[in-house]
Every structure is written in structure tokens, then in C-alpha cells.
């Protein structure tokens, strides 16, 4: 079994400093002693996130230089929830890097309904190089990461959506540069997206203002984690209930669906509670004139955002969607770029 934790910056930092040659990709990452996972944004140290962004920029700028980097690598995806962006960007990304993908539709039954997660994990680690999960329960992702001796990626759980948040802050970096100088705001439900954005903003040293209705506040454990990170990075975190106060003077305004997957039966009740949090012209105009509008999609037009805002020149929603492809390619290269060393390490542990 592997222990999941955030470590200090390793080989990713070294790779990010390398200028990519025009004829072949840079040297691949040396394999850590035990495979790393991406279960939470918190699994990455702040310097690792910046290095991951550098690698993402290289992959985006010169994708042809990385063709074949993951040749022979295999990825399996188990999705308990429907998906457009997450599934296609992972599949397209893995294919463009030379690897293979297997998709298992779990929308009609939870992953561990027929067999224990422990047994599933120990089967998968003998066949597959990386496991991608989109689940209702965060405990499923954590359990798989604990049991499987190959990297596990959280492609969305009810607690976090780390790949999306990393793509979002990479998008902000493209637009504004130094992330420690931006003021980022989020209004709406204190859901998985808000959690990962808070952790990412804290890691990047940003000023982050999040406004939610009192009944739909963020998970206090996530808040405590983000505050601890902010003490290291100098980030400023504000948790509010007033959306106007959160948005005023900010560089980006982010929102998400008021009723996330699994809460559809609460949509009518939530619509009443969240009405003051709609990102419309009156609210958005409180931000700076250059402010970006951001949304992880799918958007419910006329609910959490109006057409006027999501279709405006300030909208970055499709930049965010595009960058899901590039950030996930970087994550895959980081986790899988070390060749077969981990199989040797596993064999050594098995005979220890």
C-alpha cells in the first residue's frame, strides 16, 4: 500500500526548467519510490503546482514534442457520474501522449457494489498504469489511492475537483501572470469546486473571496487546510455570505451550478436560496473592468449566470475547458513519466 501525502517539490521542478528540444521531448521524470496520487489539490506543494503549470504551458505550446512520451502506458477510467469535458480531455490527452485508455461506465452502479474496493484495486494495479475516478463518494477515491499500487487521479468527487481547479488557475496565470497578485472570487454553493478553488488559491498566494449562503458553507476541514497553506504562502482568504462584497474589486468572478450532481432533487429549493448569488450584469460590474467570468461547466443559463455574462468578451469558460486537456496531460506525464521503475520497486517491496 502507498501513503498519500503532499511532499516537497521533486523531479517536476527539474523538468519544468528544461526547455523542450524541437526534435524530441525532455528526459522523463524519474519515478518516486512510491507512486504519487492526485486525490486533492492539497497533494501538491505550491512550488509543484507552479512547476506543473510550466509543464502544462510546454505541452500546450508544442504538443508534437511530447507524442509518444507515454507509449505503452494504459489508463482506466471509472465514472459513476456523467461527463463531457473530463472524459474527453483525459482520453484525448492520453491518446496524444501515445498511451491507451479504457473507459468503464459506472453510472448505473457504484464502483464497489459488486466487489470490494480493496480487491478491485489489487486487480487494477496488475493490469493498468493509472486509475482515474469520477465518483459520488470521496472515500472511494481515497480508498483506491490507499489500496492500489499505481497512481490514482480524482476526476471529481463530492468533496473536490482538483483537475478543474488546476486548469482554472492555469487559465488565470495565462491571463494575469503572477497569481499572488490577483484577487479571485467565487459565489454560490460551497461545493467540491469551491473547495478545490480555495485550496488552489491558497497555494498560489492569491487573495480569495468566497461567498456562499450560510446553509451551504464550505467544509470546515477544507477551510482549515486552506488556512494552513495560506500561512505559508501569504494568501488572503475571505469567507463571506454577501456575494456583492465578495465580487467587488476582483480580477475574476467564478460560479458553479447551484445544485450539483446528486442534489438535483433540491434544485427548486436551492433556486430560491441562491437567487441573490446569480452572476448577472449588476453583480459582475462590481468587479474590475478587466475581470474574467469563470465557470467549470455545464452552466445553467438563467440560473447561476445570465447569457449576457457567460457570452461576454470577459468570459473565459472555453479557455478553462480547453486547458483541462493540457493540465491533465501534464498530470499524466508527471505521474507516469518514470518508466518501469515502479514495477521493480513493487517487486522489491513484495519480497521485503
Give the model confidence (pLDDT) of 138-163 as tens digits. 999 999 999 999 999 999 999 999 99
Domains (range + CATH), the chain: 11-160+323-344 (3.40.50.1370), 164-320 (3.40.50.1370)
| 65 is known as an active-site residue | no
Q: Classify burial at 281, counting beta carbons within 10 Å of its beta carbon; exposed 0-12, middle 13-18, buried 19 or more.
A: exposed
Catalytic residue among 134, 138, 326, 342: 134
**Which residue carries 491571463 as its cell?**
175
Q: What pLDDT does 350 receive?
A: 38
| 164 is known as an active-site residue | yes
Which backbone phi and psi does 305 adopt, to 5 degrees?
-150, 150
In the structure grid, which three cell numbers stand for residue 323, read together?
A: 486547458
| 256 is known as an active-site residue | yes
| 126 is known as an active-site residue | no
Measured torsion, CA atoms of residues 270, 273, 276, 281, in degrees rounded to the nearest 10 = 10
Q: Single out the residue of 240, 227, 278, 223 nearest to residue 256, CA to CA.
A: 278
Cα separation, 230 vs 213, in Å, equals: 23
Residue 92 pLDDT greater than 70, yes or no = yes
Cα separation, 135 vs 88, in Å, equals: 17
Give the model confidence (pLDDT) of 23-79 as tens digits. 444 444 443 344 699 999 999 999 999 999 999 999 999 999 999 999 999 999 999
Residue 337 pLDDT greater than 90, yes or no = no
Residue 351 pLDDT greater than 50, yes or no = no
Cβ atoms 258, 189 nearer than 8 A = yes
| 161 is known as an active-site residue | yes
- How many CB atoms are closer than 10 A to CB 228? 11
pLDDT (mean) for 104-110: 92
Catalytic residue among 37, 296, 320, 342: 296
pLDDT band (50, 70, 90) for residue 267: confident
Q: Give the max Cα distance, the chain.
A: 65
Catalytic residue among 36, 85, 161, 195: 161
Catalytic residue among 36, 324, 326, 342: 324
Question: Could you tell me the end-to-end alpha-carbon distance of the chain, in angstroms, rounded to an integer?
Answer: 13
Catalytic residue among 164, 278, 320, 328: 164
- Round the average pLDDT of the chain to a whole number and report it: 88
The region, left, alpha or beta by phi > 0 then psi within -120 to 50, assigned to residue 43 is alpha
Strands 152-154 and 100-105: unpaired
Cα separation, 140 vs 136, in Å, equals: 8
pLDDT band (50, 70, 90) for residue 264: confident
Q: What pLDDT does 22 receive?
A: 41
Give the H/E segment covering residue 327.
helix 317-336
Amino acid at each position: 500500500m502507498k501513503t498519500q501525502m503532499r511532499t516537497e517539490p521533486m523531479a517536476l521542478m527539474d523538468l519544468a526548467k528544461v526547455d523542450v528540444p524541437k526534435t524530441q521531448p525532455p528526459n522523463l521524470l524519474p519515478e518516486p519510490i512510491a507512486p504519487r496520487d492526485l486525490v486533492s489539490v492539497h497533494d501538491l506543494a505550491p512550488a509543484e503546482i507552479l512547476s506543473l503549470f510550466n509543464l502544462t504551458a510546454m505541452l500546450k505550446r508544442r504538443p508534437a514534442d511530447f507524442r509518444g512520451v507515454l507509449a505503452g502506458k494504459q489508463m482506466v477510467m471509472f465514472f459513476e457520474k456523467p461527463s463531457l469535458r473530463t472524459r474527453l480531455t483525459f482520453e484525448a490527452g492520453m491518446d496524444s501522449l501515445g498511451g491507451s485508455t479504457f473507459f468503464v461506465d459506472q453510472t448505473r452502479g457504484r464502483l464497489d457494489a459488486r466487489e470490494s474496493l480493496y480487491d478491485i484495486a489489487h486487480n487494477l494495479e496488475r493490469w493498468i498504469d493509472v486509475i482515474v475516478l469520477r465518483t459520488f463518494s470521496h472515500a472511494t477515491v481515497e480508498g483506491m489511492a490507499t489500496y492500489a499500487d499505481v497512481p490514482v487521479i480524482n476526476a471529481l468527487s463530492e468533496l473536490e475537483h482538483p483537475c478543474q481547479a488546476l486548469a482554472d488557475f492555469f487559465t488565470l496565470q495565462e491571463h494575469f501572470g503572477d497569481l499572488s497578485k490577483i484577487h479571485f472570487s467565487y459565489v454560490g454553493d460551497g461545493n467540491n469546486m469551491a473547495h478545490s478553488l480555495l485550496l488552489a488559491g491558497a497555494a498560489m498566494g492569491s487573495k480569495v473571496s468566497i461567498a456562499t449562503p450560510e446553509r451551504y458553507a464550505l467544509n470546515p476541514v477544507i477551510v482549515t487546510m486552506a488556512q494552513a497553506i495560506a500561512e505559508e504562502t501569504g494568501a488572503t482568504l475571505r469567507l463571506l455570505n454577501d456575494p456583492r462584497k465578495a465580487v467587488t474589486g476582483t480580477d475574476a468572478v467564478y460560479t458553479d451550478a447551484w445544485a450539483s450532481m446528486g442534489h438535483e432533487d433540491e434544485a427548486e429549493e436551492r433556486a430560491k436560496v441562491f437567487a441573490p448569488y446569480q452572476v448577472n450584469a449588476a453583480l459582475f460590474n462590481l468587479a474590475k473592468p478587466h475581470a474574467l467570468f469563470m465557470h467549470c461547466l455545464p452552466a445553467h443559463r438563467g440560473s447561476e449566470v445570465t447569457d449576457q455574462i457567460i457570452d461576454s468578451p470577459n468570459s473565459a469558460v472555453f479557455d478553462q475547458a480547453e486547458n483541462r486537456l493540457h493540465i491533465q496531460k501534464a498530470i499524466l506525464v508527471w505521474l507516469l513519466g518514470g518508466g518501469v521503475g515502479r514495477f521493480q520497486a513493487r517487486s522489491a517491496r513484495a519480497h521485503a
